[in-house]
Structure 1
Amino acid sequence: MTRVAAIDCGTNTIRLLVADLLPGPDGAPALAPLARENEIVRLGQGVDRTGRLDEQALARTLAVVDDYAERLRGLGAQRLRFVATSATRDAENRAVFVDGVRERLGVEPEVVSGEEEARLSFSGALSAAHGAQETTRLVVDLGGGSTELVLGTSAPTAAYSMDTGSVRVTERYLADGVTPAAEAVARAHVRDLLEVAGRSVPVERATELVGLAGTITTITAHALGLSDFDPEALDGARLSVEDTLASCEAVLHSTPAERESWGYLRPGRRDVIAAGALVWSEVVAHAVERTAALGAPLTTTTTSLHDILDGIALSLAVRA
């Protein structure tokens, strides 16, 4: 038995998974989780505008890396993979971050491409697939700085990473609030990117739409009327497209007091959740439109709590 650790450092959140690798029922590796942690650090603060990682954001993130290093020593992880995504990809001073992680953890953080990010997200989602194995899934990993679209059944057949997400859209379009004009421009931005993505990912072939990450779990929790974050209720939750879009609309136009009252919405996500809801609503509407053109429109969305973090951990099964 091998104990592995995966760290996913995105634009808004840094997360840790420690798990034992076990043989699954089909012989493929499976995960027995021991610890799953996450902290909102907003590493990507201002990167879209400045092209650099902010010093305070770096300090926040590396402080959590220190905590994770101590946690890993206590749990005795034998293999570790640290993956950094959108914010680090886009930052000209990313070497400062890479050096800081290496000093604390003794491993080289991998600044992966959008395509690799998509592949890992698909692998993680598939590890706990809630539908039939032959389903052609469109897996959407909606992050702070990028949104990955990946299509496949047992493995990815097409993938594309869009430079948009909850933090990027907030900073670029909604920093002063969700006005009709700002919303219209933001929606046009996402629609343009989806059109480009469609040249690489044939969305119309999807028979299931699976959403990953914090924005989508928040939308799902809102639609289900949850009072707090409930993993059992959220993982594998299936919503009608109508309910999904209605919750997106409600969250997009929610008040600060409403957002503060939602126990499933962490403080560090409150200021960017409106933008996340906008992006998810456009992705869902786009997928429905494209599949309807072939006569089989998607009617539901599925939420998975298994995502890129699980994919990173599983990738260690084939590493020496």
Structure 2
Amino acid sequence: MTRVAAIDCGTNSIRLLIADVSGGQLTDIVRTLEVVRLGQGVDRTGRFDDAALDRTLDATRRYAALCREHGVQKVRFVATSATRDAANRLVFIDAVRDIIGVEPEVLAGTEEAALSFLGATSVLPPGVGRLVVDLGGGSTELVLGEGDSVDSCSMDVGCVRMTERNITEDPPTASDREAIVRDVNAAIDEASDAVDLARVREVIGVAGTITTVTAHALRLDRYDPEAINGCRLTLPTLLAACDDLASMPREERAALPYMHPGRVDVIAAGAIVWHTVITRTAEAMASAGATLDSAVTSEHDILDGVALSLE
């Protein structure tokens, strides 16, 4: 048994998992998240904002202290969409190396997708035609697994990127929503060469936007990972929850008992992205004579995949 730490630094949040790993199974010790919005403004400027860097490095120092406190033996720090896009990424990478003591990895979209698939499916029985959708702040990964074959594509349509690029008012206007749908549809069109949605037979959604939409559909009185993990929502229920969050004003979103404060400003765009991906997948499946009746939400994602890779 090895005690490992996985740190996943995305566009919106930085997350830590400290776990004991043995035989491909994880036993959680610490699982935590901070919304630091590292990708603030990156889609527009192509660079990290100084304040965003400071927030993220402060959280990294806290995570390093937790790793020391819990006697972690192996650490892997991965960064994704925002870091791929930022011209001044080396400033961030050098600082993280000094804090954590390991080389941070800027994952290519395909590797991010593979780790997301590994994490999402690690607690599930074998299946065929599974599409894992990892909806992050800067990008959304589509990963289709059939037996030993995995096809994937990373699309630059995350909740933070779509908010900064397309939302002009709160709640989003009809034209704001149409702009996001256009961007997501264009990204899916490009992704279709790599991931054939007509071959999908089951959809598994991961990451904060999707788990929050699920919490909203369930009308939870708090954010409850146990209630969310493995939850299967019918398509009408899922799409209605997306529509509701996309049309809700900020004050109402902020008052929801399961809404993380760091997601209030980006959940509307994220819900529109999720709605569009689900709708397009259902249409593609229908063209192949298959039906998408529901989608499953998983609390296990790239963070679990990174931890498992350290065994």
Distance 1:156 1:258 in 2: 43
Deviation at 1:153, TM superposition (A): 3.8
After superposition, where does 1:219-258 map in structure 2 within 5 Å? 219-258=213-252
Residue 162 of structure 1 corresponds to 155
| Residues 42-80 of structure 1: per-residue CA shift (max 9 Å, x gap) | 000000000000000000000000101110000011000
Matching residue's letter, 1:161: S
**Residue number among 286, 291, 295 corresponding to 2:289 in the alignment:** 295
Structure 2 unaligned regions, length at least 5: none
The answer to whether the aligner puts 1:47 opposite 2:42 as a matched pair is: yes
C-alpha contact (below 8 Å) 1:166/1:275 kept by paired residues:
yes
1:90 aligns with one of 51, 76, 85: 85
Aligned length: 310
Question: Shift in Å at residue 175 of structure 1?
Answer: 3.9
Matching residue's letter, 1:148? E
Are 2:108 and 1:113 equivalent residues in the alignment? yes
Counterpart amino acid of 1:46? G
Report deviation, 1:257: 2.3
SS of the residue 1:11 aligns to = coil
Runs of 4+ residues deviating >3 angstroms: 153-156
Q: Deviations over 1:202-252 (max 9, x none)?
A: 111111000000000111011111111111110000000111101000000
Secondary structure of the residue that 1:107 maps to in structure 2? coil
Partners in 2 of 1:239 and 1:267 — Cα distance?
Answer: 24
Percent identity over the alignment is 53
On the 8 A contact 1:235/1:305 being kept in 2, the answer is yes
Give the letter for the 1:66 counterpart. R
Q: Is the 8 A contact 1:126 1:154 kept in 2?
A: no
Normalising by structure 1, we get a TM-score of: 0.95
The answer to whether the aligner puts 1:282 opposite 2:276 as a matched pair is yes
Q: Tell me the distance in 1 between the aligned counterparts of 2:112 and 2:147.
A: 17
Root-mean-square deviation (CA), in Å?
A: 1.0
What SS does the aligned partner of 2:309 have?
Answer: helix
Structure 1 unaligned blocks of 5 or more: 24-28
Q: Residues 150 and 156 of structure 1 are in contact (CA less than 8 Å); yes or no, is this contact kept in structure 2? A: no
Q: Distance in 1 between matches of 2:260 and 2:168?
A: 19
2:280 aligned partner, one-letter code: H
Counterpart for residue 267 of structure 2: 273
What do the CA deviations read for 1:96-123 (whole angstroms, capped 9, x no partner)? 0000100001101000100000000000
TM-score normalised over the length of structure 2: 0.98
